[in-house]
Amino acid sequence: MSVSMFLLLAVVGMAFDLGRVYIARNEAQIFADAASMAAAKQLDGTAAGLERARAAVTALPDRWNLGTEEFKGVVVEFSADGTQWDTQPKNLATLRYARVTAPDNPVEIMFLRAVGGPQSFTVPARAVSSTNPVRLTE
């Protein structure tokens, strides 16, 4: 009986918890894509453009966890060449890329934890967009 309950919880957990994890991962990636495009759109080589880029990411209404939760701890970085990234860049005129990382999206595990699974599973997402024209590059 206990063996079959263990297996049953594992199967329920696979369907329920992993289903939610996959959805959250998808939602986070779509948010990162939209946020990096929103940031790249605002870059114009000025400090005001940089502020607008950060504000555009914050203002994005996209949610995760079945569309119920806001993204927290979102990191916005900028780069001139797509290799060196900085949250507070100095040489604003050369900026050509915006990168957004949504690192903190922990999906609470409900069934799999009863059979030895983790308490939560984090699904980070990252996207990079270029300016002129604004396009997703990663």
Partner 1 sequence: MRLERGHGTREKGHAMLELAISAGVMVSCLVGTFQFGYTFYTYNQLVTAVGNGARYAAQRTYRSGSEDVERGNAAIRNMVVYGDAQPAPEAAPVVPKLTPAEVEVRWDLGGDGTPLNVNVAIKGYTTDAIFRSFTFDGRPSVQFPYVGKYAAGELER
Element (H, E) at 101: strand 97-102
Interface residue with partner 1 among 43, 50, 56, 98 (CB under 8 A) is 56
Q: At what angle do helices 2-42 and 47-59 cross, to 10 degrees?
A: 150
Closest CB to partner 1 among residues 11, 84:
11
34 binds partner 1 (CB under 8 A): yes
2 binds partner 1 (CB under 8 A): no
Output the smallest distance, CB 123 to partner 1, in A. 12
d(CA 49, CA 118): 42
26 binds partner 1 (CB under 8 A): yes
Neighbouring CB atoms inside 10 A of 59's CB total 10
d(CA 101, CA 29): 9
Per rule CB under 8 A, count of chain residues that contact partner 1: 32
DSSP SS3 for 29: helix
37 binds partner 1 (CB under 8 A): yes
Rg (CA), the chain: 19
Applying CB under 8 A, the span of 56-64, 70-78, 90-98, 100-108 interacting with partner 1 comes to 56-64
d(CA 48, CA 42): 9
Contacting residues toward partner 1, per CB under 8 A: 1, 4, 8, 11-12, 15-16, 19-20, 22-23, 26-27, 29-31, 33-34, 37-38, 40-41, 56, 60-62, 66-67, 133-136
